[in-house]
Amino acid sequence: MAEFFAKYKEEIQNTWQKLNRNIQILIIVLTILMAGAFGYLIFRGTSTNYQPLFTNLSTDDTAAIVERLDENNVDYQLGGNGNTVLVPESEIYRLRLDMASAGLPDQGVVGFEIFDNSEFGTTEFERRVNYYRALGGELSRSIQSISGIEFARVQITPPEESLFLDEEKSATASVMVKLAPGYNMSAERVNAVQNLVASGVQDLPLTEVTVVDTNGNLLSHPSNPNNDQWSDPQNFAMQQEFESALKNDLNTLLTKVLGPNNFAVQVNANLNFDQRESESKIYSPVIDESGIVRSEEINTETQQNGASGGAPGTDTNIPQYQGNGTGENSSYEKKNNITNYEINERIEHHVYAPGEVQRLSVSVVVDQSTDEETMQQIRDAVSAAIGYNEQRGDVLNISSMAFDDSLEQAAQDAIQARAAAERRQMYIYGGLILLVLLLTSALIIYLYRKKPAANRGSKVDVSVEEDEEEIDLFEPDADQKKRARVKNELENMIHSDPENAAKLIRSWLVDE
């Protein structure tokens, strides 16, 4: 085997020495390009892709996470000024579960585990401070478990006790949350966070819990005695839902007319959340004795032969004395009928549900130069869609102006630039592969064209070897020695300059 490789190596060296210098340079450059291209492809295919395990970490959390990664012999990188830990993409989910089981990262928040190693000489003030610190940490962890909230921090101000009830102050709390990208907390979620904190802290009213996000936006609505319609978060949610529904209806309508991204709609609604009840009684007169009889009194008085009858009573029981003289017989009758009817009464009880629309303000901007007739048609369509009521004080504004699409254009340019970079990278790879193929083909063609000359040289060597075998059959003498010397010179000439040697031998054959 060693002889085979030695022979193969010698053949390669001989072939290399016979090549032209330009061909040698071409082969060297080709080999370097091929090695570089394949090395780059192998590096890209085998390189580790690192992804963030955690971001925006505190110094303590970063140190604890790095220590645990070192214990598990996991490769990692630090980025973002040391507050971001990057790990291999294939290990990211397993490592997050492992870190969660270890309570990392804790975001610098401590819970009731602070009392696990309490010191003997702790004062009452320190114990009280640690208690509210631990309580805030536990509430922060509970809030962080809510979907859409990445980070939460709760700060509690304990109540101030006093000998006088009027001077006592209730506890207060502030909650800062970091929301996930693209997530917005609804009014129900904010109210849930407020109730969670208020229920977990003693003497903490719900109205004393303030919720803000890391962008400085106030998420909770403070109570206002002059305007208490926002004391219930459902009122705010109802108004937002109403405005969103009306805006979606207008977007659907205008998209079919103007096309997408050719208009902008903004809706503002004022709703009345006061609960009202009213009761009214309406009386109407009785017409043509058609009412219901409530009571009826009939009085009848008759008199005959001078004696009149009446209702039984004292006057009728008193003896009557006959007077002198005679009178004529007469009769008398009197009737009195009193009828009382029920009064026509109608009672109406009205209950007004909260959420009545008091005023609407709608603005529509069209991204093009539109004639007045088309603008009027758009105005009529929008007015009908929103139920425009001028007496209610509704405002409707339809205008036309050019939109500023610089942000969209920049995003589109970035996408196109990225696509162009990917195409350039693909062209580079394709060009390298094509160059390798062309150089390889050129080398093969060159070697193939050189093959006949080499074959002719080998024929000359064979003929010389045959002559050598024939000469060796005889006993050497002076002539044979001379021939051997000439033969050696010819062999040296053939090896040093095979082309000229072949021409020389060919001329000898022609002369003979």
Strands 356-366 and 395-400: parallel
Note whether 233 and 318 are within 8 A (CB): no
Alpha helix ranges (H) inside 154-260: 187-200, 233-258
User: What are the start-end ranges of the E strands in 273-355?
Assistant: 276-284, 293-304, 307-309, 331-341, 344-352
Name the 3-class secondary structure at 83: coil
Cis peptide before 88 (omega within 30 of 0): no
Q: How far apart are CA 253 and CA 380, in angstroms?
A: 12
DSSP 342-382: PPEEEEEEEEEPS-EEEEEEEEEEESS---HHHHHHHHHHH
pLDDT at 512: 56
Cβ contacts of 107-116, under 8 Å, gap ≥ 24: 107/58, 107/61, 107/140, 107/144, 107/151, 107/153, 108/58, 108/60, 108/61, 109/136, 109/137, 109/140, 109/141, 109/153, 110/134, 110/137, 111/137, 111/138, 111/141, 112/137, 112/138
**Size (the chain), residues:** 512
In the DSSP assignment, the letter for residue 475 is P
Query: Residue 510: is it exposed, middle or buried by C-beta count within 10 angstroms (0-12/13-18/19+)?
Result: exposed
Closest to 363 in 3D by CA, of 247, 271, 255: 247
CA-based angle 194:219:80, to the nearest 5?
105
The encoded tokens of residue 375 equal 């603008």
Q: How far apart are CA 382 and CA 457, in angstroms?
A: 97
Query: Is the Cα dihedral 381, 384, 385, 388 positive or negative?
Result: positive
Single-letter residue type at 33:
L
Q: Please give the model's pTM, rounded to 2 decimal places.
A: 0.39
pLDDT at 469: 43
Report, as ranges of residue numbers, the positions in the chain whose pLDDT lies below 50. Answer: 224-227, 230, 308, 314, 316, 323, 325, 453-475
Ramachandran sector of residue 225 (left: φ over 0; alpha: ψ -120 to 50; beta: rest):
alpha
Q: How far apart are CA 123 and CA 388, in angstroms?
A: 68
CA-based angle 238:153:116, to the nearest 5?
135
The encoded tokens of residue 323 equal 């007077």
Task: Tell me the per-residue pLDDT of 320-347, one tens digit each, with 9 for 90 and over.
Answer: 555 454 555 667 777 788 777 777 778 8
Tokens 């007077």, residue located: 323
Q: Tell me the CA distances in angstroms from 201 to 109, 133, 213, 481, one per residue in order.
A: 17, 12, 21, 121
Q: How far apart are CA 492 and CA 486, in angstroms?
A: 10
Core vs surface per residue 185-220: b (16+ CB within 10 A) or e: bbbebbbebbebbbebbeebeeebbbbebeeeeebb
- What residues form DSSP beta bridges with 302? 309, 333
Name the 3-class secondary structure at 416: helix
pLDDT at 474: 40
pLDDT at 430: 78
pLDDT at 464: 45
Count of Cβ atoms closer than 10 Å to residue 431 Cβ? 10
pLDDT at 12: 74
Single-letter residue type at 467:
D
